[in-house]
Structures are given as structure tokens and as C-alpha cells.
Amino acid sequence: MLSHGHYAIAFYAALIEAGIIPESELETYGSDDSRLPMSGMASYTPGMEISGGSLGQGLPIAVGMALGLRHRGNRAFVYNSMSDGELDEGSTWEAAMAASHHGLGNLICIVDINNQQADGPSSKVLGFEPLADKWAAFGWHVQRIDGNHLPAVVRAFDTARQLPDAKPRVILCDTLMGKGIPFLETRDKNHFIRVDPTEWQMALDVLDANQPQ
């Protein structure tokens, strides 16, 4: 589930890969009457688990889903994806305490630490380090990885799923926006990256050239 609703566009790509929505529908993204609004909404999009966007709501919902699934004897995992900005919200930590108190081994939380939020770098807006220590102190199993390195991400998910302990698991992902496209990596981002129409082809060319064969 997507706590940070504004990551919806990436989630739509995943929904296409999963065969839940057709690729052609991406053309409607953000348009009037589209099923693909700019901020993800469960009531609009098949496969979108929650209406995120009011930040800090995902983890409390995930706690309820994990408790409910366990109560019903369902062995599924609940995955909550959230942004580092959501670490500012008290509700995130209410939920972090509860997940550990209730021993939710079926809950995996992914935090995207891109150090970007509306008013500037997250670390300047409201410092959250030492983050791994904080989650560990709240009773979570913690992994901190390079979130742009896909093999590391996959390994972290495997580890999180295979832990025997009845404790919730968090994967802290340090990431860089625009990774792999040098002129975007270094651009002054201010939370949103502005990409001019002429730059899209340049970005695609760079990615294609660097794609592993």
C-alpha cells in the first residue's frame, strides 16, 4: 500500500507490469475522469490498496490490516511504502509502537529516504537521524540499504520475509532522485523535479545506454 499517494505514477507502472491496468491507460494519467489520479486513491484505481496522500496515515492502516489478516488466519504480508517526510507525523510513531506491541511479524514497512520534502531537504525540515536506532528502539527489525541498488532491495525483502521473529520489519532505503541520469541527479530538486519536454528523450537515451545487457 502506498502511504505517500504522490508516488502513484510509479505504482501505476507496477500495476501495468502486474496486468491489473492496461498500459494504454497511462495516457489518461492526471486527466479529468481518469482512473489514474496524480495522488493514489483506492476508490479510483484497481489495485490501489488505500487512498494515501494525507501523509502519515499508511502505517496505522497497515497495522490494522496486519492485525486483521492475522486474526483471520491469513498468512499474507502487508507492505507499507512511505516517504521520509512521513517520519514527521506522530501517527507514524503511534503505529510503529503498536506494530511492535502486537508482534506484527506480517508487516513490512519501506521508507524512501530521498531527503526531499516540500520545504527542502528532510534533514533540514525536521531531522530524523539516527533513523535505524529509532526504529530498533521501537522494537522493529531494521535493514538500511541503498534503495537505488535493486539487488540490495530484493535481498532486503527476502530477509524481511524470512525472519522467524514476531516483530515488524522496516527497510530503510537511502535513495537519490533521478538516479542514473546525471543531469537529473545533480539538479536542484526542491522536492519536485522539473523535466523539460526536450529532456525526456535525453534521459531515455542515457537509461537505454546504461541498461545491463
Partner 1 sequence: MPINRNNATRFAAAETMNATVTEKKPRLTTSAMIASIAAEGQRVRAAPFGKALTEYAEAHPEIVGLTADLAKYTDLHVFAQAYPERFFQMGMAEQLLMGAAGGMAKVGLVPFATTYAVFGTRRAYDFIHQVIAEENLNVKICCALPGLTTRYGPSHQATEDLAMMRAIPGLTVVDPCDALDIEQAVPQIAAHQGPVYMRLLRGQVPLVLDEYDYKFELGRAKRLRDGNDVLVISSGFMTMRTLEVAKQLEADGVKVAVLHCPTIKPLDEATILAEARQPGRVVVVAENHSVIGGLGEAVASLLMHEGVMPSRFRMLALPDAFLDAGALPTLHDRYGISAEKMAASIKGWPK
- Closest approach, Cβ 70 to partner 1, in A, equals 10
Residues that bind partner 1 (CB under 8 A): 41-43, 49-51, 53-54, 56-57, 59-69, 71-72, 74, 90-91, 94-95, 97-98, 101-102
Query: What's the one-letter identity of residue 51?
Result: S
In the three-class reduction of DSSP (H, G, I as helix; E, B as strand; rest coil), residue 129 is classed as coil
Which C-beta is closer to partner 1: that of 57 or that of 115?
57
CA 113, 101, 132: angle at the middle one, nearest 5?
A: 25
Q: What is the closest distance, in whole angstroms, from the C-beta atom of residue 90 to partner 1 in the complex? A: 7
Q: Which is nearer to partner 1, 28 or 54 (CB)?
A: 54
What residue type is 131 in one-letter code? L
Q: What's the min distance (Å) between Cβ of 67 and partner 1?
A: 6
Closest to 66 (Cα-Cα) out of 177, 167, 195: 167
Nearest CB to partner 1, comparing residues 98 and 171: 98
Tell the smallest beta-carbon distance from residue 105 to partner 1 (Å): 16
Instruction: Tell me how far, at minimum, the Cβ of 9 lies from partner 1, in Å.
Output: 20
Q: Which is nearer to partner 1, 137 or 207 (CB)?
A: 137
* CB burial string 142-167: b at 16+ within 10 A, e below: bbbbebbeeeebeebbeebeeeeeeb
Nearer to partner 1, 16 or 42 (CB): 42
Cα–Cα distance, 146 to 187 (Å, whole number): 20
Query: CB-wise, 55 or 172, nearer to partner 1?
Result: 55
- Burial class, 19, CB count within 10 angstroms (exposed 0-12 / middle 13-18 / buried 19+): exposed
At residue 110, what are phi and psi to the nearest 5 degrees? Answer: -115, 125
Question: At closest approach, how far in Å is the CB of 76 from partner 1?
Answer: 9
